[in-house]
């Protein structure tokens, strides 16, 4: 069925959401607008659904949510049979609460008990609830750090980790069998509550989560005595209550919240990109830090699974710290302090992704920690924790992180957790303060010991049908025309995760890559430099990751710019 036929079908329906009816009327005669909304169905994968909120098959609305949930319900019933339950969470995004309730209504109509949070909660709280409540699955309504026009539907397995590729493929098969209108079973929400098929998750679960987070503290007693002044912004998201609660639990009472970004607001009026990776999102926090002379700025994204920080330099100017740098510092702090305290487990394991800083591997080697690298996506870190748990030794896991500001200390959740990360970052700052040093001095000591590694990510937006095709073409061109040099540095090896094959360009020798298939190409260059390229799984972007190493930070930055300029031209940007 082509776009115009689908559009006509939608306009002939008596839609339950008047916003959709108004939108469809507004695009009458707009060929491109209709095409963009109907040229495909939202893709369902291991990240679930993510898309612009609105009318159409390529939009997130109550009908695409119901269709996806029916397919998921069928999968759950096929896999687990009767008497199952699913945990549901949602953040502050536009219509998140509505989409969460629609999810509960479809699950309940299918005889699956929906355990839903009664208020917005972070992603890690959903991951925690799945395991704590012994649910067979979980759904989190969020679009993480995307702009306000987006929302999403993340699906979790019974281990509290995002669903596997195999599971996602099966759910997608089921979804494709469901008619958009009338194909999903739906129960009235209040009727579901009366029937015991919809239940609000109790405060006890939230309190238990916070207790588990607090138990990860290593030097928590220092937090109160250090008298840290913390400036915090939840970026109008779900972090406000739990982050402040955990900081209070460890004795950090002097927390000042950025007032314009304190209350939940899915329009994100002060920052069009509510992402702590983007400096603009932290502008108000940086300004308040300068006014209040804070020791530390914390910024969590709308679903509170990522956290960014800024700290003052010796001149009192506030400096943003990258996700790789925070990961390296937490790795050094956790390893050194757990050994000092005698709490390091036997055969400890730390995990990171192939696009994250190589310093982590060096730190792990120094402290006798097994270091595992996985594909991009925190589900792969969660999967490694599951392997350790299945072996009977989940305590071996001490830390996992990815360069995009995601960290997890402890096994209470199987997704990145900005609540526990915020606590540990503050604790680390308190410890350093007690030692008469600063966060920046600590970071400099890491570079001095392990080398001046610079890691920079570059994103190129490719929206709509043409954008998807362009990304696919770029990846195909790079595979068929492998560059022999990038920015003047010779390409020594190519790791093709699409074909799961590594090629030495000097000898032509090939070897197998053991990690799962993924749409990623990695170019290993001279002088320990690398360039990695991959389309985003959650945004209409293709991302390039550059690693350079040099005698000084300035030289590393100059080399990175040379690589980025050359590689951007190769991709056609």
Inform me whether the pLDDT recorded for 43 exceeds 90. Answer: no
Does the annotation count 144 as an active-site position?
A: yes
> Helix, strand, or coil here: 328?
helix
Are 205 and 133 in contact by the 8 Å Cβ rule? The answer is yes
User: 306-345, pLDDT tens digit by residue?
Assistant: 999 999 999 999 999 999 999 999 999 999 999 999 999 9
User: 257-272, pLDDT tens digit by residue?
Assistant: 999 999 999 999 999 8
Query: Nearest 5°: CA angle at 303, between 414 and 416?
Result: 25
Strand order in the sheet with 406-408: 370-374, 349-353, 397-402, 406-408
Inform me whether the pLDDT recorded for 399 exceeds 80. Answer: yes
Which of the pair, 528 or 140, is modelled with greater confidence?
Answer: 140
Of the ranges 138-152, 434-448, 500-514, 534-548, which one carries the lowest mean pLDDT score? 534-548
Are 91 and 303 in contact by the 8 Å Cβ rule? The answer is yes
Q: How confident is the model at residue 571 (pLDDT cuts 50, 70, 90)?
A: confident
Average pLDDT over residues 83-104: 97
Q: Which helix (H) or strand (E) holds 524?
A: strand 521-525
SS (H, E, C) 208-274: HHHHHHHCCCCCCHHHHHHCCCEEEECCCCCCHHHHHHHHHHCCCCCEEECHHHCCCCCCCCCCCCC
Question: Which backbone phi and psi does 448 adopt, to 5 degrees?
Answer: -65, -40
What percentage of the chain carries pLDDT values higher than 70?
Answer: 100
- Of 281, 279, 280, 233, the residue nearest 258 (C-alpha): 233
DSSP 430-446: HHHHHTT--HHHHHHHH
> Position of tokens 């690589």?
563
152 strand-pairing partners: 50
The residues near 276 (Cβ < 8 Å, ≥ 6 apart) are: 145, 235, 282, 299, 300, 301, 306, 307, 308, 405
At residue 572, the pLDDT reads: 85
138 strand-pairing partners: 87, 156
Which of the pair, 462 or 369, is modelled with greater confidence?
Answer: 369
- Of 412, 400, 399, 426, the residue nearest 125 (C-alpha): 412
Q: How far apart are CA 151 and CA 143, in angstroms?
A: 4
Average pLDDT over residues 60-88: 96
Inform me whether the pLDDT recorded for 73 exceeds 90. Answer: yes
At residue 461, the pLDDT reads: 87
Question: Which backbone phi and psi does 383 adopt, to 5 degrees?
Answer: -65, -40
At residue 490, the pLDDT reads: 95
The residues near 449 (Cβ < 8 Å, ≥ 6 apart) are: none
Count of beta carbons in the 10 Å neighbourhood of residue 283: 14
Of the ranges 116-120, 414-418, 458-462, which one carries the lowest mean pLDDT score? 458-462
At residue 290, the pLDDT reads: 94
User: 433-467, pLDDT tens digit by residue?
Assistant: 999 999 999 999 999 999 999 988 888 888 777 88
- Of 391, 379, 414, 402, the residue nearest 345 (C-alpha): 391
Average pLDDT over residues 527-538: 88
At residue 1, the pLDDT reads: 64
Count of beta carbons in the 10 Å neighbourhood of residue 133: 17
Q: Which helix (H) or strand (E) holds 453?
A: strand 452-461
Q: What is the pTM of this model?
A: 0.92
Which of the pair, 195 or 144, is modelled with greater confidence?
Answer: 195
At residue 553, the pLDDT reads: 87
User: 466-491, pLDDT tens digit by residue?
Assistant: 888 899 899 999 999 999 999 999 99
At residue 468, the pLDDT reads: 82
Inform me whether the pLDDT recorded for 2 exceeds 80. Answer: yes
What does the block give as tokens for 529? 């430099």
Are 520 and 543 in contact by the 8 Å Cβ rule? The answer is no
Mean pLDDT for all residues in the chain: 95
Q: How confident is the model at residue 248 (pLDDT cuts 50, 70, 90)?
A: very high
Q: Are strands 406-408 and 137-141 parallel, antiparallel or unpaired?
A: unpaired
Q: How far apart are CA 82 and CA 101, in angstroms?
A: 21
Strand order in the sheet with 49-52: 49-52, 150-156, 137-141, 85-90, 113-116, 198-200
- Of 111, 64, 69, 60, the residue nearest 88 (C-alpha): 69
Q: Which helix (H) or strand (E) holds 314?
A: none
Query: Which conformational region is residue 531 in: left (phi greater than 0), alpha (psi within -120 to 50 degrees), or beta?
Result: beta
At residue 134, the pLDDT reads: 97
CA distances, 177 to each of 70, 133, 182, 397 (Å): 10, 30, 12, 40
What does the block give as tokens for 93? 């995004």
Question: Which backbone phi and psi does 116 adopt, to 5 degrees?
Answer: -115, 135
At residue 462, the pLDDT reads: 84
- Of 350, 359, 275, 361, the residue nearest 320 (C-alpha): 275
Question: Which backbone phi and psi does 569 adopt, to 5 degrees?
Answer: -65, -40
Inform me whether the pLDDT recorded for 361 exceeds 80. Answer: yes
Helices (H) then strands (E): counts for the chain: 19, 23
Inform me whether the pLDDT recorded for 274 exceeds 90. Answer: yes
According to DSSP, residue 83 is labeled: S
Count of beta carbons in the 10 Å neighbourhood of residue 175: 23
Q: How far apart are CA 406 and CA 388, in angstroms?
A: 20
Average pLDDT over residues 107-111: 98
Are 543 and 458 in contact by the 8 Å Cβ rule? The answer is yes
Inform me whether the pLDDT recorded for 573 exceeds 90. Answer: no
- Candidates 92, 144, 404, 536; catalytic one: 144
């Amino acid at each position: 069925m082509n776009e115009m036929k689908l559009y006509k079908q939608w306009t002939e329906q008596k839609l339950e959401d008047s916003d959709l009816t108004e939108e469809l009327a507004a695009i009458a005669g707009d060929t491109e607008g209709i095409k963009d909304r109907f040229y495909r169905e939202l893709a369902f994968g291991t990240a679930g659904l993510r898309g612009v909120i609105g009318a159409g098959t390529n939009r997130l609305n109550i009908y695409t949510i119901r269709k996806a949930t029916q397919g998921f319900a069928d999968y759950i019933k096929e896999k687990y049979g009767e008497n199952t339950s699913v945990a549901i969470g949602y953040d502050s995004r536009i219509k998140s609460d509505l989409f969460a309730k629609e999810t509960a209504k479809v699950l309940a109509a299918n005889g699956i008990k929906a355990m839903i949070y009664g208020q917005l909660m972070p992603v890690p709280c959903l991951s925690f609830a799945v395991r704590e409540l012994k649910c067979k699955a979980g759904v989190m309504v969020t679009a993480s750090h995307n702009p306000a026009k987006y929302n999403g539907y993340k699906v979790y397995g019974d281990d509290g980790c995002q669903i596997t590729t195999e599971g996602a493929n099966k759910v997608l098969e089921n979804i494709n069998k469901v008619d958009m209108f009338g194909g999903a079973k739906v129960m009235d929400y209040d009727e579901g509550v009366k029937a015991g098929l919809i239940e609000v998750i109790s405060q006890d679960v939230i309190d238990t989560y916070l207790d588990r987070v607090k138990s990860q503290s290593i030097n928590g007693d220092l937090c109160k005595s250090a008298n840290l002044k913390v400036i915090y912004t939840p970026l109008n998201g779900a972090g406000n209550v739990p982050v402040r609660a955990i900081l209070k639990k460890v004795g950090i009472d002097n927390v000042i919240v950025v007032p314009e970004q304190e209350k939940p607001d899915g329009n994100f009026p002060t920052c069009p990109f509510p992402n702590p990776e983007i400096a603009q999102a932290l502008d108000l926090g940086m300004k308040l830090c300068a006014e209040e002379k804070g020791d530390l700025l914390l910024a969590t994204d709308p679903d509170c699974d990522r956290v960014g920080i800024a700290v003052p330099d010796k001149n009192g100017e506030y400096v943003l710290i990258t996700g790789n740098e925070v990961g390296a510092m937490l790795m050094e702090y956790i390893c050194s302090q757990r050994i000092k305290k005698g709490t390091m487990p036997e055969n400890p394991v730390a995990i990171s992704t192939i696009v994250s800083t190589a310093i982590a591997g060096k730190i792990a080697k120094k402290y006798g920690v097994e270091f595992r690298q996985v594909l991009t996506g925190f589900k792969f870190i969660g999967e490694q924790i599951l392997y350790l748990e299945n072996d009977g030794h989940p305590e071996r896991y001490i830390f996992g992180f990815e360069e995009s500001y995601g960290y997890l200390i402890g096994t209470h959740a199987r997704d990145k957790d900005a609540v526990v990360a915020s606590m540990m970052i503050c604790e680390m700052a308190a410890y350093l303060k007690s030692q008469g040093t600063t966060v920046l001095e600590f970071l400099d000591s890491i570079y001095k010991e392990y080398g001046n590694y610079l890691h920079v990510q570059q994103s190129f937006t490719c929206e709509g049908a043409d954008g998807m095709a362009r990304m696919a073409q770029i990846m195909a061109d790079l595979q068929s025309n492998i560059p022999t040099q990038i920015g003047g540095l010779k390409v020594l090896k190519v790791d093709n995760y699409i074909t799961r094959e590594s090629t030495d360009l000097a000898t032509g020798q090939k070897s197998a890559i053991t990690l799962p298939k993924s749409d990623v190409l990695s170019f290993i260059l001279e002088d320990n430099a690398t360039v990695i390229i991959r389309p985003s799984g959650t945004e209409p972007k293709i991302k390039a990751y550059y690693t350079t190493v040099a005698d000084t930070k300035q030289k590393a930055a100059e080399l990175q710019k040379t690589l980025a300029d050359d590689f951007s031209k190769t991709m056609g940007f």
